[in-house]
Amino acid sequence: MPARRVRAPRAARRRAARRPRGRARGAAYRPRLTAIAPDRLEVPRVDIESVSRALLTVHALTQAPPLLALYRGAATQGEFQLEG
């Protein structure tokens, strides 16, 4: 038997219909974003080398046989998705 589709409440459907989509969404926020003074903006700086080393370390740790077996066991029980 196929799963029955549940519709969102009427008020939620109305709000979703009023929300701009795509380019219109960006255009809706443009006046608010341009009103921010440039001296108040902070550009995030990241040390790419440090971040890549950290990510490689985490990857190496999670691929270790004991941890990988633990993750695969949890994934088969549906706790999270291992792929991707």
The reply to whether 18 falls in a domain is yes
84 domain residue, yes or no = no
DSSP state of 8: P
Of 1-5, 8-12, 78-82, least confident by mean pLDDT is 1-5
- Domain assignment of residue 26, yes or no: yes
- pTM to 2 decimal places: 0.35
**Residue-range definition of the domain harbouring residue 20:** 10-36
72: nearest Cα among 81, 13, 33:
81
The single-letter DSSP state of residue 69 is: H
Answer yes or no: is pLDDT of 78 > 60. yes
Q: Is 56 exposed, middle or buried (0-12, 13-18, 19+ CB in 10 A)?
A: exposed
Number of domains in the chain: 1
**pLDDT tens digit sequence for 17-28:** 666 666 777 787
The pLDDT tens digits of the residues spanning 30-45 come to: 888 889 898 898 888 8
The answer to whether position 45 is within a domain reads no
Letter string b/e over residues 20-50, b meaning 16 or more CB atoms within 10 A of that residue's CB? eeeeeeeeeeeeeeeeeeeeeeeeeeeeeee
